[in-house]
Amino acid sequence: MIIYRYIAEGLFIGFIMLVMSGSILAVRSRILMHAVLGLAVSFLGVAGLYFFLGSMFLTLMQILIYVGAICVVLVFGIMVGKTPKEIDEKQLRGKHSILAVSLSTVIFFMLSASVFFAKWNPVTEKIGDFSMAYLGKNMLYHYCLAFELISVILLAAIIGAIILARGGREADLG
């Protein structure tokens, strides 16, 4: 039985490596399409971590929404919008580079210290389970208002996106 634990641990470390390498590729690559690829790799790693955290449903949703929808929308935007394929070397190492490295490093270590020195109380007993039935029942009974509000937000965002992308075309025609 102990061998399965080691296999699971190796998978976990592999997912961590996916997250880290993907996110570094997403912020460091000079070609924007490679950044989207790194983002997809990082999201796949996060989906694996959700699986380790016990939620099969969120793993599938992460792959479906983030990798399947958001990355495709980003690729679509890059290809339609004629963004610069290559980013200038001087723009990559611009005046903000030192500020970005120092600020993100400082915030990383400050948050790590605050996580490390905080006192967490692990829960001993759970009142529900991780099944999809329990999740759906909660979402439609207890969190019904939030569930409806997020659909209104999505509707407003889609209508706003259509209006934003469409306004210029009428200006071009007229």
Partner 1 sequence: MTLLSTHLYSYLFIAIFLFATGLYGMIQHRSIIGMLISTELILSGAGLNFMAFNRFITPDPAIGQIFTLFIMGIAAAEAAIVISFSLAVYRRYQTIDPESVDKLRY
Site for partner 1 in 5-44 (CB under 8 A): 5, 8-9, 12-13, 16, 19-20, 23-24, 26-27, 32, 35-36, 39, 42-43
Give the CA distances from residue 162 to residues 83, 153, 159, in Å, rounded to whole numbers and listed in that order.
Answer: 20, 14, 5
- Which residue in the set 60, 65, 170, 174 belongs to the binding site for partner 1 (CB under 8 A)? 65
Torsion sign over Cα 120, 51, 22, 31: negative
**Binding of partner 1 at residue 79 (CB under 8 A)?**
no
Q: How far is the CB of 27 from partner 1 (least distance, A)?
A: 3
Q: How far is the CB of 71 from partner 1 (least distance, A)?
A: 9
Torsion sign over Cα 89, 90, 91, 93: positive
Q: For 130, which DSSP code? A: S
**Binding of partner 1 at residue 61 (CB under 8 A)?**
yes
With CA atoms as reference, report the closest residue to 69 among 159, 158, 169. Answer: 158
Q: Which is nearer to partner 1, 82 or 174 (CB)?
A: 82
- Which residue in the set 89, 126, 145, 173 belongs to the binding site for partner 1 (CB under 8 A)? 126
Q: How far is the CB of 29 from partner 1 (least distance, A)?
A: 9
Bridge partners (DSSP) listed for residue 86: 31
Q: How far is the CB of 174 from partner 1 (least distance, A)?
A: 14
Q: How far apart are alpha carbons 106 and 118 in whole angstroms? A: 18
Taking the alpha carbons at both ends of the chain, their separation in whole angstroms is 72
**Binding of partner 1 at residue 101 (CB under 8 A)?**
yes
- Which residue in the set 4, 146, 173, 174 belongs to the binding site for partner 1 (CB under 8 A)? 146
Bridge partners (DSSP) listed for residue 31: 86
